[in-house]
Structure 1
Amino acid sequence: MTAKTLVPYLVSASLLGLASLATGALAAATPTTAVSAAPQAAAADLTKSQLGLYLTAKEAYQLLQNDPQAILVDVRDPVEIKFTGFAAGTHIHVPYQLTDITGWSDSAQTWPMPLNPNFDQELLARLNALGVAKDANIIIMCRSGATRSAPAVDRLARYGYSKAWSVTDGFEGGTEKTGPSKGVRKVDGWRNSGLPWSYNVPADVAWRGHSDKLTTK
């Protein structure tokens, strides 16, 4: 090979070498396995509130006995109260969710319970009417403490109420896990703890639907 033909050959070889190096570097930098998708955000724990204040039904009853200024709020649907009872001494009843009897769901095999769109206004109006202070002990109770009392506490926290408590076992309590009564709500809760309750709801406490006065201070 002459000098005249050697130079182009060397240049070509050099270019091929650089291309090979670049290809290798790119391959090394490219993942060999697919990157897994980011995990979906976990569902919110509806038993937890922003204030982090919790009581069992028995503890709630004791607080009501010890603090004359404490307020007990029931946030259950009126139909629940009609058939399962009402805690004696309840000061306020405003449902957090309401059963939509026109919205039967075939997949869920039940009726949906959308949020009460006036919950905040109705509850604030009741609290204002009773002259409840922002630092008063306000006890929120639903059926079992699973999905409504803690979110209702969060609503109050938005308006500056600093001592809103969620009743962790609610009015009906938890279900039996075994035995002939499996699935029946017989574990803890206000009604199962020997605390005073009735099927009668005082007229001045009962929720009257969206006709309730919604004025707030």
Structure 2
Amino acid sequence: MSTPSKSATLSSTQLPQGKQTVLGLYVTAKEAYEKWKAHPEKVMVLDVRTPEELLFVGHPPMAWKIPIAAQSYHWDDTKREFPMQLVPDFVSRVQAAAKPGDTIMVMCRSGGRSAIAANLLAKAGFTDVYNIIDGMEGDVVADPDSLFLGQRLKNGWKNSGCPWTYDLTPDRMLLPTG
């Protein structure tokens, strides 16, 4: 895959720290889809969400599905959540589908796990990895007068008119072993 464009659309200073990457390459979901549409043979869309998210939230049909983390089922009383745990063979699974010079657009729910994935791939020698900063579901609606306050309905792949499906594509899924 050759690089369609190395220019980042946003600077790191415009993003929360949790969405920033060492490569500093960022796109919105809509921009990632347009890059893929212009060069589908040169651009990989990589969805790093869990299989449960793929099943119940949907996913881009052209995306490779390679989870970076697994959901734990042990309640963390301090954080008040069921924390995710990184999957140790993530990079090797990506290496089975892509080469270090390939253009990769990484997405998760809203840009945090995809930043972690982009950083792990950069550490492994990948050089053209973009973080899709609004992910599949987008950012939280912050308008206190909105009926959708607190819901992820602002931007994101699903809310930007990009194609998505609930139908799984096993030929583009590389799930953790073990």
- Aligning the two structures, in what range does the TM-score lie when normalised by the shorter sequence? 0.7 to 0.9
Match of residue 84 from structure 1: 57
Q: Is the 8 A contact 1:139 1:164 kept in 2?
A: yes
Match of residue 71 from structure 2: 99
Q: Aligned to 2:69, what secondary structure does the other structure show? A: coil
What is the Cα deviation at residue 141 of structure 1?
A: 0.5
- Normalization by structure 2: what TM-score? 0.83
The CA distance in 2 between the partners of 1:203 and 1:122, in whole Å, is: 14
Q: Is the 8 A contact 1:78 1:207 kept in 2?
A: no
What is the Cα deviation at residue 144 of structure 1?
A: 0.5
The CA distance in 2 between the partners of 1:182 and 1:104, in whole Å, is: 26
What is the Cα deviation at residue 154 of structure 1?
A: 1.4
Letter in 1 for 2:97: R
Equivalent of 2:81 in 104, 110, 117: 110
RCO (CA 8 Å, sep 6+): is it higher in 1 or 2?
A: 2
Match of residue 19 from structure 1: none
Q: Is the 8 A contact 1:56 1:167 kept in 2?
A: yes
The CA distance in 2 between the partners of 1:111 and 1:168, in whole Å, is: 23
Equivalent of 1:197 in 164, 168, 172: 164
Number of residue pairs aligned between Structure 1 and Structure 2: 160
Bigger helix share: 1
- Normalization by structure 1: what TM-score? 0.69
Identical aligned residues as a percent: 34
Letter in 1 for 2:172: V
Provide structure 2 residue ranges, at least 5 long, that are not aligned to the other structure. 1-15
Question: CA offsets per residue over residues 53-73 of structure 1, 9 Å max, x none?
Answer: 000001000100112211110
Match of residue 13 from structure 2: none
Letter in 2 for 1:181: F
- Which is higher, the Rg of structure 1 or of structure 2? 1
Q: Aligned to 1:87, what secondary structure does the other structure show? A: coil
CA RMSD of aligned residues (A): 1.6
Q: Is the 8 A contact 2:93 2:174 kept in 1?
A: no
Q: In the TM superposition, what are the counterparts of 1:1-217 in structure 2 within 5 Å? A: 45-67=17-39, 68-90=41-63, 92-101=64-73, 103-127=74-98, 132=99, 134-145=100-111, 147-177=112-142, 178=144, 179-210=146-177
The CA distance in 2 between the partners of 1:170 and 1:45, in whole Å, is: 15
The CA distance in 1 between the partners of 2:176 and 2:114, in whole Å, is: 19
What is the Cα deviation at residue 190 of structure 1?
A: 0.2
The CA distance in 2 between the partners of 1:143 and 1:150, in whole Å, is: 11
The CA distance in 2 between the partners of 1:46 and 1:121, in whole Å, is: 23
Match of residue 15 from structure 1: none
What is the Cα deviation at residue 78 of structure 1?
A: 1.2
What is the Cα deviation at residue 88 of structure 1?
A: 2.1
Question: CA offsets per residue over residues 73-101 of structure 1, 9 Å max, x none?
Answer: 001111112111101211x2111111012
Provide structure 1 residue ranges, at least 5 long, that are not aligned to the other structure. 1-43, 212-217
The CA distance in 2 between the partners of 1:156 and 1:110, in whole Å, is: 27
Letter in 2 for 1:105: D
